[in-house]
Amino acid sequence: MQTYENTEIEPAGFGIRLIANLIDFLIIYTPIAIGIYFVTGEFTFDWSDTWTWDILYRIYLVITPLLWSGYVIGKRLCKIKIKRVDGEKLTILNMFLREVVGMYILVAITFGIAAIVSGLMVIFREDKRGIHDLIAGTYVAKNN
């Protein structure tokens, strides 16, 4: 157990975080793919290789936890949430640093190495914080 701001928490590990991310991706991705199929008559994944998809998905990952107290759909279903280390409410800056800087820009400029290192950090660190969490001052906790 970790303690942040005199509150004992149980950090969420790699497995549950991975499952939450996969659920999130599928819940957002599948309806769009089906909609494109009905409009174009083609079942293709080409649209997901565009800047538009990347930007819209990042907006979802930044804005939703602000509106939903640290949750995105996948995290809510897996009963885990994003919190700030100092115990304060998440801000747009926290989420921008976490999702855009830590999970997108840093991963892109290191050709994916930052994602691997971050995953290993979540697996092996006691507090289960990845690079993106350290940059943003956040952690992911299980709901107790």
Given a cut of 80, whether residue 28 has pLDDT beyond it is yes
Looking at residue 45, what is its pLDDT? 67
Please give the backbone phi and psi of residue 8, each rounded to the nearest 5 degrees, phi first: -80, 130
Looking at residue 2, what is its pLDDT? 61
Structural domain boundaries of the chain?
8-142
β-pair type (7-9, 80-84): unpaired
Contacts 24+ apart (CB under 8 A), 49-57: 54/104, 57/28
What mean pLDDT is predicted for residues 45-51? 71
pLDDT digits 0-9 by tens, 93-102: 999 999 999 9
Name the residue with higher pLDDT: 33 or 138.
138
Q: Which of 39-48, 49-58, 134-143 has the lowest mean pLDDT?
A: 39-48
Cα 63 to its chain centre, rounded Å, is 11
pLDDT digits 0-9 by tens, 50-95: 778 888 889 999 999 999 999 999 999 999 999 999 999 999 999 9
Q: Whole-structure pTM over 0.85, yes or no?
A: yes
Which residue shows structure tokens 């299980």?
142
Model confidence band, residue 30 (pLDDT cutoffs 50, 70, 90) = confident
Report the distance separating Cα 126 and Cα 1, nearest Å. Answer: 8
Looking at residue 37, what is its pLDDT? 82
- Helix ranges (DSSP H) in 1-144: 14-40, 51-67, 73-78, 92-95, 106-109, 113-124, 131-136
Please give the backbone phi and psi of residue 80, each rounded to the nearest 5 degrees, phi first: -130, 155
